[in-house]
């Protein structure tokens, strides 16, 4: 059976590999890093927040769906215009997702500690998802979300793609700002933790 | 300090009071009831799923926002048309929310048990939110959601209110079906549990 430390190393190596092949979100590496720098946590799967346009019956569908557009940094009016020109099988949804992080904590105390920090940084929808051999799995999530019906086979509203893109980008950006805040808060908590450890060492001398 | 049972009774009395004054969602009482019938759980705050139209900068805003429309059973094209005719301060969002239940479990085993049942019934986004003197607080939530930008001060797309209402109602209904499935699954689990208890009694005679 693998040790907790081995799981952590494995996860880190996968992130390095994903970054190399361009599979990692372009603006998440330094955020993941701060979790790995902490002694009792590591991240599993994460998303920095993104905009997708998907053709699907319902926006959360994974089967019966096809992705028309995906970008972690933003969308332009022209991107939306192009999507609107395509023919639609089910429904065309413009979805802005805020950042989501899945983090393994070594134990429950650390899990609650991370959840508390995350909630204060704006990740209000955070909680414990499960417990297994890798530790306590937590999900850190904001309420940032837009799920806009762009088009359907019998529904082609006359929209203003430029304005829609503007609002979608604004929503995306709020998520990115929260992600930066989370990174800073985790960093500060690590520093504080280290200082405390040093204090204890001093005292115990 | 109150006992767990006293907290449960208090929560039940509040539900009865809320129902009497018409504050409870019209289609949730029997769902809450099955949680109370279980020996180790009770619900705290819950929503059966609803459609709202809100004027707010971002759809998750609580301050700087005003609710234009709210209904747990559906929306009509005329409701949307009326909302579109009103003047907008920030942005007009049409939001469909799936059901959300907050449940206190007496202990962690019961919490994981409920989460497992809920996930199987389609409440994929379920987890533990906190632990306190009332027990283990879990959130049972689906991925059902629509967050549609209806209108902004400088954005008045020509929409088809009837078609939008149709899609919104369809999304809402999927949430309601999941809620029914959850109710049945919790009921079945209670029956199974009771049978087991009887078995134990038989054996211990």
Does the beta-carbon distance from A144 to B91 stay under 8 Å?
Answer: no
Please tell me the predicted confidence (pLDDT) of residue B1. 83
The pLDDT tens digits of the residues spanning A15-26 come to 999 999 999 999
| Chain A residue set in contact with B, beta carbons under 8 Å | 58-60, 91, 112, 127-130, 139, 143-149, 152, 154-155, 157-160, 163-164, 167, 171, 174
Region A127-143 average pLDDT: 97
Please tell me the predicted confidence (pLDDT) of residue A191. 75
For B193, phi then psi, to 5°, come to: -60, -45
Kindly report the CATH number that applies to the domain delimited by B4-204: 3.30.1960.10
Range of lowest pLDDT (A105-114, A183-192, B54-63): A183-192
Q: Count the Cβ atoms, other than its own, within 10 Å of residue B20.
A: 9
| ipTM reported for the complex, 2 dp | 0.90
Choosing among A123, A146, A173, which should be mutated to test the B contact, i.e. which has the most B CBs within 10 A?
A146
From B140's Cα to the closest Cα of chain A, the distance in A is 11
Does the beta-carbon distance from B171 to A143 stay under 8 Å?
Answer: no
Pairs across A and B, CB distance < 8 A: 68
What's the mean pLDDT when you consider all of chain A?
A: 92
Region A155-175 average pLDDT: 95
Residue A200 banded pLDDT, cuts 50, 70, 90:
very low
Q: In which residue ranges of chain B is pLDDT below 50?
A: 194-205
Please tell me the predicted confidence (pLDDT) of residue B204. 38
- Residue of B59, B143, B160 with shortest CB distance to A157: B160
The answer, yes or no, to whether residue A204 has pLDDT greater than 80, is: no
The answer, yes or no, to whether residue A205 has pLDDT greater than 80, is: no
From A127's Cα to the closest Cα of chain B, the distance in A is 5
The answer, yes or no, to whether residue A106 has pLDDT greater than 80, is: yes
B158: which chain A residues are within 8 Å (Cβ-Cβ)?
157-158
pTM of the full structure: 0.91
The answer, yes or no, to whether residue A201 has pLDDT greater than 90, is: no
Q: Report the C-alpha gap between A109 and B82 in whole angstroms.
A: 51
| Chain B residue set in contact with A, beta carbons under 8 Å | 58-60, 91, 127-130, 139, 143-149, 152, 154-155, 157-160, 163-164, 167, 171, 174
Q: Report the C-alpha gap between B151 and A123 in whole angstroms.
A: 27
The domain limits of chain B are: 4-204
Choosing among B146, B158, B173, which should be mutated to test the A contact, i.e. which has the most A CBs within 10 A?
B146
Residue A165 banded pLDDT, cuts 50, 70, 90:
very high
């Amino acid at each position: 059976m693998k040790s907790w430390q081995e799981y952590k190393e494995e996860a880190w190596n996968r992130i390095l590999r994903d970054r190399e092949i361009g599979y990692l979100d372009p603006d998440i590496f330094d955020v993941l890093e701060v979790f790995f720098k902490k002694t009792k946590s590591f991240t599993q799967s994460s998303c920095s927040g993104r905009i997708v346009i998907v053709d699907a019956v319902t926006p959360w569908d994974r089967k019966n769906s096809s992705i028309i557009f995906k970008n972690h940094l933003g969308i332009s009016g022209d991107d939306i215009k192009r999507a609107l020109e395509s023919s639609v099988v089910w429904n065309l949804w413009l979805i802005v997702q805020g950042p989501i992080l899945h983090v393994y904590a070594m134990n429950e105390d650390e899990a609650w500690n991370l959840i508390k920090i995350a909630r204060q940084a704006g990740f209000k929808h955070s909680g414990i998802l499960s417990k297994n051999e890798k530790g306590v799995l937590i999900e850190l999530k904001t309420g940032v979300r837009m799920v806009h019906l762009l088009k359907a086979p019998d529904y082609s509203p006359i929209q203003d793609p430029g304005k829609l893109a503007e609002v979608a980008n604004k929503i995306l950006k709020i998520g990115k700002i929260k992600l930066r805040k989370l990174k800073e808060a985790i960093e500060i908590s690590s520093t504080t933790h280290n200082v405390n450890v040093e204090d204890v060492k001093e005292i115990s001398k």
